[in-house]
Structure 1
């Protein structure tokens, strides 16, 4: 360490009030030897001792097609082989011999990352490193990167730099540190100015900026028990959706993207779920009818609300995605009693992931309850959009015009009070008894039972869903003439059912046209898990 600090000083660097320490678990800490006050400059590092992409490429000028990270790793390996002949030897000699990032963990330690995004990231990065190794035939070395623009502000391409002395300080969020550049990239330096008080004996920290535990653990080998910048990465899958390409086109037309390298990957934080992610999910859960309508849409604001069916489907799908991830994390059994440093870090990371998922689930459940309350208010006031299928794109201004004063004061609203369920359709004991006689296994014939149940409910003069039935039936009969696909199914049921139970199945209420209407309702207005009709 003394040789290293002397080397820094000989080359124009300086530090004051700093004590460099080593410990058994981490790669060292830096402590204040006396009080450091705001505006104190406690370290200055000359640019000439840094390892930059520019320096590395001078040595390997013929590797212009190699990435910045790889050419710098190659340079570090080369300088290490030079031993004491290397100008950077004092710096390289004090670099950690034990790397704490997950790439170097034992299998037992990696188990602590099971069922997390980080486990996948580690596998992918290891493969990339191996492929780079095979291409360069050298050992790569990962170290603490700082942006090269600190040295040369005119440099615009993404680049990295190894900063001796600077990388001795550990990271702590919200630490008040200012990096002050002076001079040019040949003779200049970088100074560190404190923006807060560090008491004597207290550890001194750097600030790498807002980084999640996932980033810290992957890049530096440590994390925090409570990290306000923690997030969970979510990426919905469109590949199995038969309308997937249409939906991706809607996203493209409406400029729905995350702003991340993968435009479909979003980051959910403890207290925040991106509104753009919810817009994406509204597109993901669109049924065929909604997708055909919204393929004309080019305004992202139209995706702030599609309709009640879509919104409930969006919430259900999002909750299922979150719950699946949460269950996977919780299913991994881990020893929490006797753990090593890296295992404790992994536990901090996965506990943070679990907490974010659980809190986001609560947020989505609260959103669902708000939707139910609005539906209950609309049902009570017999409010329904003018144009079927009741989506915002076809009813401009309608949903925005609705008001819901004192909504939060209302009690809990159950889903089956604002939707149509099969259980509701079978509450009529006589009708249910008839259905049980006609179908040995109602579950197996659920689709047909649903359609017959809707037709039966339609005949009730006091049905709470009369406005829905009347409006959708009128629109359907005006637009649909070809019913060939349903004629065989209808013919297998009627007039036989009407002849067997004439008091239940009046022929005029179970025509093939009305059968087609019921089929349309099932295709256009339902959500799954549980299956129900959203009649608003």
Structure 2
């Protein structure tokens, strides 16, 4: 397929027009309404003739490539059937070799053999228009100074993996040819194999384009790459509407949209992100609407997610064939999303979100994991917001780290790229940074709403809060178009979190009590904290989980007090009933706090039950269990499960580029 790699290849417009003539000689053609053209920005390309009086319309066949000029595995085996013949045109490999190495490798070596024929080869008019060895711009052809522009991204590791894989395949193929005594084996070099494999990766079509001429029983679903001269000439444009139509004698390229005079006719390789485009085709697209980042999750087999995935495969064995996890972070402009769906799923793929949800699940959430053929997830319902917020927090930390890492690895690079490879690498890197920043703004927004206790979920309050959130983004940091799209995404899609104010800092939890009970409770907490930390439990002051547990213990004792039960809000009452069901207080567990055990012992020795009454917390009596070790340890287990660590200032990285990620402990309390 034609790509931006051709723009610097040096192949002339004249050579491509000779290719058109060669294809026509064998029965193919391009439509009278189109022409092959060339310019500095698009290289050799196809466009509607500028002097045409009107646009070409949907279903116009603009290219017709006869099957006789296609190149594939079927040529390598001199395939013949009732429907059609595919000649090897003078390049013949032993059938033992073809069967031993497989269809893809046989095709690569067949392409090498045709290239080695030079001008006498049947496909020479086509092959000379392709980028030649040494002219390709995929990462496997990057020099050391070019690779520097890719540091910090996923491409270097992917390139190493592909290089090793191709080396193994090449060595295996060459060993087999040597074993068979193949003549001329010395001409089949590694450099030529690297070229041929890259050409196939970047230009080959699915074997379905040959379905009209190959018997169904001989046509596999994959593993038979097919080169289509002329049809691979148009450049890629994301979302271009085209169709490749297979026939008994030819393959046609049809446009499925109107194309005006003078406009380029584009092909569409599918919704490729810039990493795929650079790895496979050797170019990137600035502001690629179908860009997304593939996220790799570490997955130990004994982890909750590893166990859940193993169980899913046991339940649905066919899933073992699908090795793609679909863990993506989408460009804010990604156009192929479902029209309806949660706002967070429009940025983070559901598979990624649900996978992290399982990884971040607490004990009560893991008990409810749902495993279906469609996926693994934590079901929604009362109390499920904690898991969603834990996912958003974890994603935010990952985004902050990735942004900082990408920005750090640009240090020492020249101010401007010096060649085409570096230009594409810079586009790819900058696109990744922008993608991460927009995703971080979205995740930070959802966390901000969970921290907002004063505003309602009304349209007006949401708009004001969003304006304040967007106002924290440095001026000119992102384009107006991106900023506008973020606002639209937030305002037009329903969040997974429909309620504000479900995350509480330590001092905010008292707001759950009736107003007249808040100040006495805070005084009581402060007295206990002061007494304990100045005496025998100094670590209490620096242990966030223990501090939260102390407050939860106070609220739980309040909930059990018959004096004030009728005054408590339904939110507080329902929450503690829920906690008592999910965390039974009489369950023995190894998960205990030494700090709270020390506090309980100290409280008993000091007759601390009188402290509450002294501060006006008169509703707590001996029967409420206030400061009893059993209830302190119960509160510790509750906090261990219900606490969330969130970024203290997630948008700081936008202003400073600093990788610092201070965390803040907050407690999740669901809305009704």
TM-score range, shorter chain: 0.7 to 0.9
Name the SS for the 2:530 alignment partner: helix
Q: Which residue of 2 aligns with 1:437?
A: 534
Residue 113 to residue 240, structure 1, CA distance change in 2 (3 Å):
farther
Write out per-residue CA displacement over residues 20-63 of structure 1, whole angstroms, 9 at most, x where no aligned residue.
5587x987444566546415654332211111121124444322
1:308 is the counterpart of 2:385: yes
Offset, 1:344? 1.8
1:157 paired residue among 221, 237, 262: 221
Offset, 1:83? 3.0
Give the gaps of 5 or more residues in structure 2. 1-14, 79-91, 175-187, 334-345, 470-498, 510-520, 559-563, 613-620, 647-663
Residue 259 to residue 369, structure 1, CA distance change in 2 (3 Å):
farther
Q: Which residue of 1 aligns with 2:22?
A: 7
Q: Which residue of 2 aligns with 1:348?
A: 427
Residue 92 to residue 473, structure 1, CA distance change in 2 (3 Å):
closer
1:227 paired residue among 288, 309, 314: 288
Name the SS for the 2:226 alignment partner: strand
Name the SS for the 1:167 alignment partner: coil
Whole-angstrom CA distance in 1 between matches of 2:332 and 2:166: 32
Matches within 5 A, 1:26-425: 28-30=44-46, 34-35=50-51, 37-38=55-56, 41-58=61-78, 59-60=92-93, 61-62=95-96, 63-97=98-132, 98-137=135-174, 138=188, 139=190, 140=193, 141=196, 142-143=198-199, 144-153=203-212, 154=216, 155-158=219-222, 159-182=224-247, 184=248, 188-194=249-255, 195-197=257-259, 199-200=261-262, 203-239=264-300, 242-248=303-309, 261-263=323-325, 265-266=327-328, 268-271=330-333, 272=346, 273-294=348-369, 303=378, 305=380, 307-333=384-410, 334-371=413-450, 406=458, 409=461, 412=465, 418-423=502-507
Give the gaps of 5 or more residues in structure 1. 378-403
When structure 1 is superposed on structure 2, of 134-143 and 97-106 the one drifting more is 134-143
Offset, 1:314? 1.8
Q: Which residue of 1 aligns with 2:642?
A: 525
Name the SS for the 2:289 alignment partner: coil
Offset, 1:329? 2.1
Name the SS for the 1:261 alignment partner: coil
Name the SS for the 2:63 alignment partner: strand
1:18 is the counterpart of 2:35: yes
Whole-angstrom CA distance in 1 between matches of 2:326 and 2:311: 13
Name the SS for the 1:533 alignment partner: strand
Residue 65 to residue 171, structure 1, CA distance change in 2 (3 Å):
same
Scaled by the length of structure 1, what TM-score is found?
0.79
Whole-angstrom CA distance in 1 between matches of 2:374 and 2:259: 50
When structure 1 is superposed on structure 2, of 109-118 and 30-39 the one drifting more is 30-39
When structure 1 is superposed on structure 2, of 495-504 and 408-417 the one drifting more is 408-417
1:534 is the counterpart of 2:668: yes
Write out per-residue CA displacement over residues 293-314 of structure 1, whole angstroms, 9 at most, x where no aligned residue.
4378899697352512212112
Write out per-residue CA displacement over residues 349-374 of structure 1, whole angstroms, 9 at most, x where no aligned residue.
2222222222222222333345556x
1:512 is the counterpart of 2:610: no
CA contact (8 A) 1:458 1:466 kept: no
Matches within 5 A, 1:467-478: 467=573, 470-471=576-577, 474-475=580-581
Residue 4 to residue 74, structure 1, CA distance change in 2 (3 Å):
same
CA contact (8 A) 2:370 2:378 kept: no
Whole-angstrom CA distance in 1 between matches of 2:258 and 2:591: 75
Whole-angstrom CA distance in 1 between matches of 2:429 and 2:117: 41
Offset, 1:189? 1.9
Whole-angstrom CA distance in 1 between matches of 2:268 and 2:578: 60
CA contact (8 A) 1:285 1:314 kept: yes
Scaled by the length of structure 2, what TM-score is found?
0.64
Whole-angstrom CA distance in 1 between matches of 2:445 and 2:357: 17
CA contact (8 A) 1:376 1:418 kept: no
CA contact (8 A) 1:483 1:512 kept: no
When structure 1 is superposed on structure 2, of 489-498 and 71-80 the one drifting more is 489-498
Residue 26 to residue 111, structure 1, CA distance change in 2 (3 Å):
farther
Q: Which residue of 1 aligns with 2:177?
A: none
Name the SS for the 1:74 alignment partner: helix
Residue 243 to residue 196, structure 1, CA distance change in 2 (3 Å):
closer
Whole-angstrom CA distance in 1 between matches of 2:166 and 2:38: 31
Name the SS for the 2:117 alignment partner: helix
Whole-angstrom CA distance in 2 between matches of 1:292 and 1:233: 29
Name the SS for the 2:128 alignment partner: helix
Question: How many equivalent residue pairs?
Answer: 503
CA contact (8 A) 1:247 1:291 kept: no
Residue 259 to residue 109, structure 1, CA distance change in 2 (3 Å):
farther
